[in-house]
Amino acid sequence: MTIQNPISTVTRPDFHPVHNGTKAPLQFAGAEYDARIAGLRGIMADTGVAAAVLTSMHNVSYYSGFTYCAFGRPYALVVTASEVVTISAGIDAGQPWRRSHGDAITYTDWTRDNFWRAVTHVAGTGGVVGFEGDHMTLDQHRKMLAFLSPVQVIDLAPATMRQRMHKSAAELELIRAGAAVADVGGYAIRDAVRAGTREIDVAMAGRDAMELEIARRFPDAEYRDTWVWFQSGLNTDGAHNPVTARVLEHGDILSLNTFPMISGYYTALERTMFVGEVDDASLKIWEANVAAHEYGMSLLKPGATCAEVTHAINDFFEARNLLQYRTFGYGHSFGVLSHYYGREAGLELREDVDTVIEAGMVISMEPMLTLPQGAPGAGGYREHDILIITDDGAEDITKYPYGPDFNVVG
């Protein structure tokens, strides 16, 4: 049987606007996005960039308000001296336009690389093009050169990251709310912990409580990617170990991790817990990590460098013969899509980061010690608070209590 392909009379463009419905309320006022775009255009002016082609979830969301879901398709925000345009896949229809500050173009699937044809329509050819070197793949970089024929390309990733590291008053308000939502998840988890319950059941209790709280606080927001890592026993040895169906047992060490996302902004709460009781060896390690946590938070203030804070906490652990059980850095920046979809790596508490901490930054303190199976006090111990750096210190916006007095439950 031969299938005939009739000649279609329908116009099938490479790209087109889809202004379907009316603009939805965004997480921030238009003036907030205008200020961010002005900052970006300042970066472009300083570097001679005529068109910025931003492709990461972080920057597209930060500058436009639209948080894309790629499913293997490319997305971008193209910014020139006069245009701010998201470039999105046809599968999203009018959502990118409704949920973005500025204009939007949708590219179609009919011809390969229609994404780049849409980008070229806004960015033009033959100019100086800015891109994100820490996000764009080699294949997409090759296509950028072929379609845009730039006279020069400049990596804007470091400069845009530095802009995102300094939070506006509006961002700080949203981050405070996110920390409060994370606390709600923590209390729900605490209430659900008991011997005989599975990790997954406890995790769902925390996730559901946060989703409901976000919907209550932000009725106009988009709801996605709020989740919980809840680990028990051996599963606590890695901070990012997934949830399982392991059944909690009396005396288990637990790790509570809540991660609400509100319109692209993540916060987090992490606490060590025990089911029913904590043995002496575990209590000693737990109390030492809590002391390091408190010490670390006291060091977060303007003028300190990330490396200085890190070395000081290292010395604290080394004096107690515990430094060998540290597994990663002591904290990092929080903000748009940070940190599940990547981090603002210029603001991390590591030995090799010399960034000076400044007012308006948001950073976590989260020391973790992991003792191997079979050792006295085996398991992973972790506390995590989020702090806003102020003019003379830091404001701890995490309110769920840490330590043994509150977190031996069930």
What are the catalytic residues? 240
3-state secondary structure of 274: strand
Q: What angle do CA 155, 166, 144 make, to 5 degrees?
A: 20
Answer yes or no: are the C-beta atoms of 87 and 118 closer than 8 Å. yes
CA R_g for the chain:
24
Q: Which among 351, 333, 353 is positioned nearest to 341, based on CA atoms?
A: 333
In whole angstroms, give the CA distance from residue 231 to residue 244.
8
Q: Give first-to-last CA distance, the chain, whole Å.
A: 68
Nearest to 233 by CA among 366, 378, 369: 378
Instruction: Write the CA distances from 260 to 56, 115, 214, integer angstroms.
Output: 20, 31, 8
Buried residues in 82-101 as b, exposed as e (16+ CB within 10 A): eebbbbbbeebebbbbbbbb
CA distance 362 to 357: 9
**What distance in Å separates the CA atoms of residue 170 and residue 175, rounded to the nearest whole number?**
9
Residues 6+ apart with CB under 8 A from 243: 199, 200, 203, 228, 229, 230, 231
Contact 386, 400 (CB under 8 A): no
Which residue bears the tokens 């390690």? 285
Coil, strand or helix at 342: coil
Joined together, the tokens standing for residue 298 give 């006291």
Token reading at 136:
């764009």
17: which 2 tokens?
A: 């606007």
**Helix, strand or coil, per DSSP, at residue 293:** helix
Phi-psi region of 386 (alpha: psi -120 to 50; beta: other; left: phi over 0): beta
